[in-house]
Structure 1
Amino acid sequence: MVMTAAGEMIVPLMGTPASVGLARTLAASRLYNWDYSHILDDALLVISELVTNAVRQTPNEEIRVQVSRDGDGLIIAVWDGDPHYPRPKPRTTLTLEDLDISEEAFDDNGGRGLHIVQAVCVRCGATRDPAGGKWVWARMRP
């Protein structure tokens, strides 16, 4: 983990499911230090969604999680080596009948996480990294 002089956190992780929980734990500590506990739940939800997407795009490869702040608020960014931008599923009204809860398809009901990120953040987007891959980011007001 790298802590910059400005206090931002940059953490390289492996693209595994365990990285989601580790990213949440490390970010929670940073957010408490910044006295952002009032947005902690939403921020950790955003981290979970962005890290989960990176893990799915680049399994068992390096990802990076960055948590920083500036005069406009909190910035959560996740890098992965896949150059393709994430695509959310189209927005629809979801009912229980729409979900396939069979054991074989239980994990195939995703694709709505970016809509959640958009709902709790002021702005979000994706930016190509000149060195390769992309950063998917979200900005929250404190």
Structure 2
Amino acid sequence: MVTTMTGELIIPMLGTPAAVGLARTLSDARLHKWDYLHIRDDALLVVAELVGNAAEETPNKQIVFQFTRDSSEITIAVWDSSPRLPERKPTVELTLDDLDLSEENFDNNGGWGLSLVHSLSAACGVTCLPGGGKWVWARMRP
């Protein structure tokens, strides 16, 4: 783990389910230190989604979690080695009739994480690297 002079985090970790908890715990400590408690819940949800997606995409391979800030934003970013780009489900407006799902679709509720990240962030995206892999990132304004 690397901690910069300003308390930013850069953490190589294994793409496992435990990576999500570690990233959330360390991010929570930084949010407290920076006195950004008013965005804590949203930021920790974004951390969980981005780290969880990277761990799922590259199981048991190295991912890199980065949690940084500047004068106006915090940036949450995760690198993984997969060339596959994340896909966001299209936003849909639900009605009460939509909630009456058939038995085969009853537990089909995944895949909405990137939509949440998009909704909670000031900006988000993917940066592909020429040497391979990609950074998936989100910026939040405290």
Q: Same fold (TM over 0.5)?
A: yes
In the alignment, the residues of structure 2 paired with residue 86 and residue 52 of structure 1 have an alpha-carbon distance, to the nearest angstrom, of 12
Structure 2 letter corresponding to 1:97:
D
Q: Say whether 1:123 aligns with 2:126.
A: no
Q: Say whether 1:36 aligns with 2:36.
A: yes
**TM alignment of 1:1-142, pairs within 5 A:** 1-94=1-94, 95-98=98-101, 100-101=105-106, 106=107, 109-142=109-142
1:92-137 CA-to-partner distances (Å, cap 9, x unmatched) read 2354334834xxxx5x531110110111110000001233210000
Q: Please, which runs of 5 or more residues in structure 2 have no aligned partner?
A: none
Structure 1 residue 22 displacement after superposition: 1.0
| DSSP-derived class of the 1:76 partner | strand
In the alignment, the residues of structure 2 paired with residue 96 and residue 55 of structure 1 have an alpha-carbon distance, to the nearest angstrom, of 30
Runs of 4+ in 1 over 4 A off after TM superposition: none
Structure 1 residue 12 displacement after superposition: 1.1
Structure 2 letter corresponding to 1:58:
T
Aligned residues: 137
In the alignment, the residues of structure 2 paired with residue 56 and residue 92 of structure 1 have an alpha-carbon distance, to the nearest angstrom, of 25
In the alignment, the residues of structure 2 paired with residue 49 and residue 96 of structure 1 have an alpha-carbon distance, to the nearest angstrom, of 24
| DSSP-derived class of the 2:25 partner | helix
Give the stretch that moved more between structures: 46-55 or 127-136.
127-136
Q: Please, which runs of 5 or more residues in structure 1 have no aligned partner?
A: none
1:24-73 CA-to-partner distances (Å, cap 9, x unmatched) read 00111111111111111100000011011101110111111100011221
Output the TM-score relative to the length of structure 1. 0.88
Structure 2 letter corresponding to 1:113:
G
Output the TM-score relative to the length of structure 2. 0.88
1:77-104 CA-to-partner distances (Å, cap 9, x unmatched) read 0111112210012222354334834xxx
Give the stretch that moved more between structures: 86-95 or 56-65.
86-95
Go from structure 1 to structure 2 and tell me whether the alpha carbon gap of 1:98 and 1:80 turns closer, same or farther (over 3 Å shift): farther
Go from structure 1 to structure 2 and tell me whether the alpha carbon gap of 1:122 and 1:98 turns closer, same or farther (over 3 Å shift): farther
State, as a whole percentage, how many aligned pairs show the same letter.
55
Go from structure 1 to structure 2 and tell me whether the alpha carbon gap of 1:141 and 1:60 turns closer, same or farther (over 3 Å shift): same
